[in-house]
Amino acid sequence: MIKTTVVGSYPVPTWLQVFSTRESLRDAILAVVKTQELAGIDVVADGELYRWDVNHAETNGMIDFFVRPLDGVNSVLSTEQLAVWRSKPGNQFRAKPPGIVVGPLHAGTLDLKSDYEMYRDLTTKPKKFTVTSPYMLAKMLADQHYDDLEALVMGLADVLKQQLEGIDADVIQIDEANVTGNADDGPIAAAGINRVLEGVKTEKAVHLCYGNYGGQTIQKGTYDKLVAFLNALEADHVVLEIARRPAEELAMLKDVKPELGLGIGVIDIKDNEVETPELVAKRIEQAATELGIERIKYVHPDCGFWMLPRSVSDGKMRALVKGRDLFGG
């Protein structure tokens, strides 16, 4: 049977926003995991609640959480450095970068294993752990040390690879939401992701979407430009934004190598209306008809839930499971 999962993030509970202790964080993660269990999700996630930053809530810490602790990254930029960063194409949606690379990259105080261990024993369900791709991190950073995108990507990849070597989540997922609008960088992005995945000993996943910056789609592009990138990935499956994409893009995935399992987004996270199970089942059927049911390993939302109301997120998860069950008969 096709499995259900989530992409990763979940709305930050109100009490965690106003009372951010380690104990309240654990309680919030437990609530998130239990909510997924009650909805019937097959592979759960921790909600990425430990990343949340009130000072930059638009991305739920997808970038800043990973780069600010690193040795070699300075969080303070001069006016001149900021002007150089702002002049680069593709950075207009952020007011400033999460930091500037000033020396060789090392883990510093980044400790993903401890973040994972906080939720590892809160559920007996299969679980996933997510990290942002080194290419996406590199594209957001200012850089005065490597002065070369590929070198910066691989420097970040080496740090993330080492961080993941001690994590035994059933699925480890690399999130990439920048190459979708920069397909020419596909070889660099894939090389960085593959380096990170060398540290993964369990199921390897890559999430691909077109951006979700406070509910906005950032990247312009289509999946036909990304087939070579997808075929270069040394992953077990991909987790794709599909529900909000034009219908004709499904056919563009036919040339993806058969050994790469497909995860199909059937829940639109940029729409607050909760899908009906019938609509979810229809979206699964469309994908199965176009690509072959044997290719589809997972169904899931297009992206994370973090910017939605909790009631909407919970309703969408229930619809996801009911729709999958309806499709499966």
Whose CA is closest to 163, among 195, 208, 185, 122?
A: 195
Q: What is the pLDDT of residues 76-87, one digit of tens each?
A: 888 888 888 787
Q: What is the pLDDT of residue 137?
A: 96
Q: For residue 53, is pLDDT > 90?
A: no
Angle, CA 254 vertex, CA 252 and CA 257 arms, to 5°: 120
Tell me which of 7-21, 33-47, 186-200, 312-326 is least confident. Answer: 7-21
Domains, the chain, with CATH or none: 3-54+107-132+145-328 (3.20.20.210)
Q: For residue 241, is pLDDT > 90?
A: yes
322 band by pLDDT with thresholds 50, 70 and 90: very high
Alpha-carbon distance of 33 to 39, in angstroms, equals: 10
- As given in the structure block, the two tokens for residue 156 are 């970040």
Q: What is the pLDDT of residues 169-208, one digit of tens each?
A: 999 999 999 999 999 999 999 999 999 999 999 999 999 9
Q: For residue 258, is pLDDT > 90?
A: yes
Q: What is the pLDDT of residue 17?
A: 82
Q: What is the pLDDT of residue 93?
A: 63
Q: Are 280 and 244 in contact (CB under 8 A)?
A: no
Q: What is the pLDDT of residue 74?
A: 93
**What is the number of alpha carbons within 13 Å of residue 245 lying toward its C-beta?**
29
Q: What is the pLDDT of residue 95?
A: 73
56 band by pLDDT with thresholds 50, 70 and 90: very low
Q: For residue 91, is pLDDT > 70?
A: no
Q: For residue 59, is pLDDT > 60?
A: no
54 band by pLDDT with thresholds 50, 70 and 90: low
Residue 77: exposure state from Cβ atoms within 10 A (0-12, 13-18, ≥19): middle
In the chain, alpha helices (H): 14-18, 22-39, 64-67, 79-86, 112-120, 134-140, 149-164, 186-197, 227-232, 277-291, 310-328
Q: What is the pLDDT of residue 82?
A: 83
Q: For residue 297, is pLDDT > 70?
A: yes
Tell me which of 22-26, 126-130, 146-150, 212-216 is least confident. Answer: 212-216
Q: Are 239 and 217 in contact (CB under 8 A)?
A: no
User: What SS3 class is residue 175?
Assistant: strand
Q: What is the pLDDT of residue 7?
A: 98
55 band by pLDDT with thresholds 50, 70 and 90: low
Alpha-carbon distance of 183 to 181, in angstroms, equals: 6
Radius of gyration of the chain (CA): 19
Q: What is the pLDDT of residue 18?
A: 81
Q: Are 180 and 209 in contact (CB under 8 A)?
A: yes
Whose CA is closest to 242, among 268, 280, 274, 271?
A: 268
Mean local confidence (pLDDT), 17-38: 92
- As given in the structure block, the two tokens for residue 285 are 């059927």
62 band by pLDDT with thresholds 50, 70 and 90: confident
